[in-house]
Structure 1
Amino acid sequence: MATNIRDVAKAAGVSVATVSKVLNGYTTVNENTKERVLQFVKEMQFRPNSAARSLVGRRSMTIGIFLTTGLAHPFFTQILAGMEQALKSKGYDLIYLAQLSWNREYSFVRHCQSRNVEGVVVFGFQHEDMNFDELVESDIPTLFIDLDVHEGRAGYISSDNQAGTQQAVSYLAGLNHRRISFLSGNKDSYVSRHRQKGYRAGLTAAGLPYREEYVAEGDFTRETGYVAMGKLLALTERPTAVVCCSDMSAVGAMEAIHDAGLSVPEDISVIGFDDIEIARYVSPALTTVRQDMITIGRRSIELLDDLILDKKLPPPEAIVPTELIVRGSCGPANG
């Protein structure tokens, strides 16, 4: 492992100034020399501090984050904690690229350029919300969270939404549930689509039929979870269990079940997805699929740093495993 820039220069057979120019993005360095230096940087796990990396004044050592959901989003503090782990080790600063009015005419590229960021993390958007073409086609290294963009210099990271939901369905099938419903999120969102794939895969693995009427659409919120669960409860043959696309929609579903005079889990078992703090404190405590948001935050910065350092690197597609957390909201099928 290299401890300073001189170690890399000696190993690569070049001057310290050449290594500094490569790290700072100078285009005057011979391409073969640049590739050799970057290879030794990677092999020797060299992570220069911000002062060294900006030695010739060409690097800002700043990463931006676009976040539609705002700082109050229940995941953001965990994602930020994970980001901080990597930011400290790599010498970057992070700035929040706020915008009062997002729309499809908004220019991510101009905002990035105006703040002189070296790369950007995008979180909380859907494909239909914004026009990402300009950003993806630009030379700005970009890492999307929960949005499957992987072309040019833009990649993504997400939880294993499909496997997590499939595990939830399998767990309910193991409790002898045969009428398992699904409360989706926004139907066109990357997350909701993959969780619904997991729901169908779980049914298939358990030898259970897919029933269209057992799928109710929400948008990840408590309010739509309540409404969607009401529709499922109105079915002639109501489900005995429901897998929800988020913990908040699961909380809404549980309220609808209670308001209908039924009990969780005696009448209907409920599983959420996320494992936000409230999941432990509702009654009964919510069984849920936990996302490792600390790892997602940390890896998002690590992957972005790789893209910043190596312009030829293919865009990453990183999937982080989930974990089923069993609590009190599930029980054996009753009927």
Structure 2
Amino acid sequence: MKKLKRKSLKIRKNIKEAALAAITAGSLSVVMELRRELREFLIRRYRICVPDPRGTGLDSQTTVKLVFLSDLHGKRYGTGNQELIRAVKHEKPDYILVGGDLVTRSNPKTDAIALELIRQLVKICPVYLANGNHEQKMRICTEEYGDRYEKYMAAVQEAGVHVLESASEEVSMKGVPVQISGLELPVKCYARFFAQKLQIQDVRDAIGEPKEGCYQILLAHTPVFMPVYQKWGADMTLSGHLHGGIIGLPGIGGLITPQAVLFPKYAGGIYREGKHVGIVSRGLGTHTVNLRFCNPAELVSVSLEFHSCENVDNPV
């Protein structure tokens, strides 16, 4: 009887030790993954096939390469952000599009980091930049931020960046007429609770109508209003803002946004509705909640193929 009792105790002890070892190993793996995802980023590639957009008689090989950056929040990947610069160069972009929040409004040191990056990006190819909510609030709330936005944006423009502050520019991308628009939303649309809904008229008031005969690319920082962007007339919308939902749940997507919204519909990835394509970056940095899990930071690379082909979007 005593032997059985001793054997039972030994088995229970072994089970406890095994369980403790498993918990320790699991916890260590989680911690290591959390740290890794805050140090590294991946390149998320999409191929977007667009039928000859406006009857321009394009060659079937007309491909435009775009790189999209969003939500860096003053993050550096390597000294002088050289790891990020190398990754951008590797993609050989024709244009670099920036979706806002390169800075964090509560941290003035991020301005210099953003400018350091921008001055390297303009050496690669033309750069078009739209504001995120952090830049927008810096611009509006001068009583809190003084002339910080004015100085920052003057340096951005001096570097040669095309700044789209609720503005549009027409570009000929290898013979394809393209309009790139940067949209600033009403600040109330970013409210944490009881956010104002965006109306199509708000978009029209800010940037007018899409230009007829152009493929329309819209830089709109938050993806929450993707159906509105589509109805307005965007052919492709590039967004960020939600940081991928911070924690990724397999088969579900992002868990929660920095604005405390659970299970955001447009946390990150590609979304199609009719002819409209929405691409949402999971961002390159963090703020306030310095956390990523199963949700790696990403640099977005888009190959726009302007010719008749099947609709294919292949993240690689």
More helix as a share of residues: 1
TM-score by length of 2: 0.30
More strand by share: 2
TM-score, length of structure 1 as denominator length: 0.29
Higher-RCO chain (CA-CA 8 Å, sequence separation at least 6): 2
